[in-house]
Amino acid sequence: MSATASGDHGRVVLLRHGETEWATTGRHTGTTDVPLTAVGEEQAVAAGTLLGELDLRDPLVLSSPRERARRTAQLAGLDIDRPWDALAEWDYGDYEGMTTPEIRQNVPHWTVWTHPCPNGETMDEIGTRADLVLSVALSALPERDVVLVGHGHFSRALLTRWTELPVSEGKRFAMSPAAYSVLGFEHSYRQIAVHNIHPSVRTGRRTS
């Protein structure tokens, strides 16, 4: 997807949800609906303060339908225009709820960026979904900024597709709990303007 001149002054903000208990223990959390921890709620409130510094232009706010994302948006002071399944986290299939060390007992060196998730989403399916989300965001940019509230791995997939990289390069990006990144343009070229800005509240140790 190429940037258009009409969208050069718009921004897409990716906001990851705050800490959850599963994330702090390294469990892959895709379709399971888990709540924020107390720390996660504090992070979400603090993220709202950080987002306020961006002076967003009449933002269109799209959110994953998962509770942890919607609650993060609410606590950050964002009014969700549309909960959208396309912003859900990676479907990990048989690996849902498992940690990487547990998976590696049967599949050495496994990562979501290098190996499949049996009965879950493929890398190509994630790329297609990310491209769909970004095409919708791009269509709104001439009139307003866009905030995409979602998850760790899928936000990293969005970062790769915005910069026209393969999804597997998501391994190069961090996305901390309640962190935001800003996607923008320079001379019609898409770029990552700001990345992984997160509140100074204790965070979990995983990015799933």
Per-residue pLDDT at 158 exceeds 80:
yes
Per-residue pLDDT at 185 exceeds 60:
yes
The pLDDT tens digits for 137-154 are 999 999 999 999 999 999
8 Å CB contact between 11 and 182 = yes
The helix (H) or strand (E) run that includes residue 192 is: strand 189-197
Range scoring the smallest mean pLDDT among 2-6, 8-12, 85-89, 161-165 = 2-6
Considering the candidates 17, 28, 153, 198, report the single residue annotated as catalytic: 17
Q: DSSP character for 135?
A: H
200 band by pLDDT with thresholds 50, 70 and 90: confident
- Name 184's bridge partners: 191
The pLDDT tens digits for 34-81 are 999 999 999 999 999 999 999 999 999 999 999 999 999 999 999 999
Q: Is 151 in the active site?
A: no
pLDDT given at position 22: 97
Phi, psi of 106 (to 5 degrees): -110, -25
Considering the candidates 89, 151, 153, 198, report the single residue annotated as catalytic: 89
pLDDT given at position 202: 61
Per-residue pLDDT at 3 exceeds 70:
no
The pLDDT tens digits for 12-32 are 999 999 999 999 999 999 999
User: Crossing angle for the helix pair 123-140 and 152-162, nearest 10 degrees?
Assistant: 70
Q: Which residue has the higher pLDDT, 202 or 200?
A: 200
Q: Is 89 in the active site?
A: yes
Question: Cα–Cα distance between 25 and 28 in angstroms, integer?
Answer: 9
Q: Residue length, the chain? A: 208
pLDDT given at position 208: 40
Buried b (16+ CB within 10 A) or exposed e, 63-102: bbebebbbbbbbbbebebeebbebbbbbbbbebbebebee
Question: Cα–Cα distance between 85 and 106 in angstroms, integer?
Answer: 31
Phi/psi zone of residue 196: left (φ > 0), alpha (ψ -120 to 50 degrees), beta? Answer: left
Rg, C-alpha atoms of the chain: 16
pLDDT given at position 1: 37
201 band by pLDDT with thresholds 50, 70 and 90: low
pLDDT given at position 205: 44
Question: Cα–Cα distance between 38 and 42 in angstroms, integer?
Answer: 6
pLDDT given at position 8: 54
CA atoms lying within 13 Å on the CB side of residue 23:
28
Q: How far apart are the first and last CA of the chain?
A: 27
**Can you give the pTM of this predicted structure?**
0.93
The pLDDT tens digits for 73-124 are 999 999 999 999 999 999 999 999 999 999 999 999 999 999 999 999 999 9
